[in-house]
Amino acid sequence: MGNPTATPQPQPWTAPTASDPVAATLRLPGSKSMTARALVLCALASGPSTLARPLRARDTELMAGGLRELGAHVSISDDDRWLVRPHPLAGPAHVDVGLAGTVMRFLPPVAGLAAGRVTFDGDPHARTRPLGPLIGALRALGVRIDAPPTGSLPLVVLGAGRVAGGDVVIDASASSQLVSGLLLAAPRFDRGVVVRHQGPPVPSAPHVRMTVQMLRAAGAAVDDTTPDVWTVEPGPLSGRGWEIEPDLSGAAPFFAAALVTGGEVTLQDWPRSSLQPVEQLRDLLHRMGGEVTLGTGGLTVRGTGTVRGLDADLSDVGELTPVLTALTLLADGPSRLTGIGHIRGHETDRVTALAKEFTALGADITETPDGLEIRPRPLRGGTFRTYADHRMAHAAAVAGLAVPGIEVDDVACTSKTMPEFPALWSGMVTGKN
3-state DSSP call for residue 67? Answer: helix
Spot the catalytic one: 243, 264, 291, 319.
319
Report how far residue 409's alpha carbon sits from residue 404's, in angstroms, rounded to the nearest whole number: 15
Report which of 292, 327, 323, 283 is spatially closest to residue 306, judged by C-alpha positions.
327
DSSP state of 187: G
- Binding-site sequence positions: 32-33, 37, 101, 129, 175-177, 204, 319, 346, 350, 391, 416
Report how far residue 24's alpha carbon sits from residue 27's, in angstroms, rounded to the nearest whole number: 10
Please state the length of the chain: 433
Q: Which are the contacts of 259, defined by CB distance < 8 A and separation ≥ 6? A: 285, 288, 289, 290, 301, 303, 304, 307, 327
- Binding-site sequence positions for 3-phosphoshikimate: 32-33, 37, 175-177, 204, 319, 346
- Binding-site sequence positions for phosphoenolpyruvate: 32, 101, 129, 177, 350, 391, 416
Are residues 22 and 258 in contact, defined by beta-carbon separation less than 8 angstroms?
A: yes
Report how far residue 364's alpha carbon sits from residue 355's, in angstroms, rounded to the nearest whole number: 9
DSSP state of 280: H
Got the DSSP string for 38-106? HHHHHHTSSS-EEEES---SHHHHHHHHHHHHTT-EEE--STTEEEEE----B-SEEEE-TT-HHHHHH
Got the DSSP string for 296-321? TTEEEEE--S-----EEE-TT-GGGH
61 tagged catalytic = no
Positions annotated as catalytic residues are 319
